[in-house]
């Protein structure tokens, strides 16, 4: 052991190492080591999509029966409903490790040209009004809002601008977002 190591050992020791100074230095060193990964995660990637097309099928198919298949359990009389997660088997898509439900074979063939969002987690808005959750999903805002708020797709379209002359940058097909009764045509 060198004189310097002996001096540090005598000053700090095993127990002293766990003190504030060394712990802070160790924490800082671990954070500095992770910095490039954090910076890379914060760096936005260039947009490659030409447009955003939202097909909102309110009252339509369940995600577990379409784009987020679960364990297959064929329906049969007498099967307990809590045992049934999906009544359609999962099929492969054009993208490795992404499966969709049987019946979506044509979609599965072009999945390499789509983005499948399975990470959305809604705020707890209660379970009384489905429309509150739909509003939140489309806008990112929790209703009610004191002013009109744009659809998140229109915000992205505004930022990116039109990418192709023949297709609008944002298309939304389905139910409107108004909370309350829809206006008559």
Alpha-carbon dihedral sign for residues 61, 62, 66, 67: positive
CA distance 70 to 53: 26
pLDDT of residue 105: 95
Find where tokens 């708020």 sit. Answer: 149
101 neighbors 109 (Cβ within 8 angstroms)? no
| pLDDT average per 10 residues of sequence, the chain (185 residues) | 60 54 50 50 70 77 82 82 83 94 94 83 70 80 83 86 87 68 49
CB-count burial class (<10 Å; 0-12, 13-18, 19+) for 144? exposed
pTM of the model: 0.49
Task: Give whole-number Cα distances, 80 to 75, 101, 184, in Å.
Answer: 10, 21, 43
Find where tokens 């054009």 sit. Answer: 94
pLDDT of residue 55: 79
pLDDT of residue 106: 95
Strand pairing of 52-56 and 170-174?
parallel
């Amino acid at each position: 052991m060198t004189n310097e190591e002996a001096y540090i050992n005598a000053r700090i020791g095993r127990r002293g190492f766990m003190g504030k100074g060394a712990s802070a230095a160790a924490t800082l060193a671990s954070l500095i080591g992770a910095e490039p990964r954090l910076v890379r995660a914060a760096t936005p990637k260039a947009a490659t999509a030409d447009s955003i097309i939202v097909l909102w099928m309110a009252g339509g198919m369940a995600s577990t029966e379409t784009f987020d298949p679960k364990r297959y359990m064929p329906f049969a009389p007498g099967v307990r409903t809590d045992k049934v997660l999906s009544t359609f088997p999962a099929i492969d898509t054009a993208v490795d490790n992404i499966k969709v439900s049987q019946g979506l074979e044509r979609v599965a063939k072009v999945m390499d040209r789509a983005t499948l969002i399975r990470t959305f987690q809604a705020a707890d808005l209660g379970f009384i009004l489905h429309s509150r959750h739909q509003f939140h999903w489309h806008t990112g805002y929790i209703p009610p809002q004191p002013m009109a708020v744009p659809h998140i797709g229109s915000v992205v379209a505004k930022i990116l601008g039109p990418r192709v002359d023949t297709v609008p940058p944002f298309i939304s097909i389905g139910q409107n977002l108004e909370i309350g009764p829809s206006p008559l045509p």
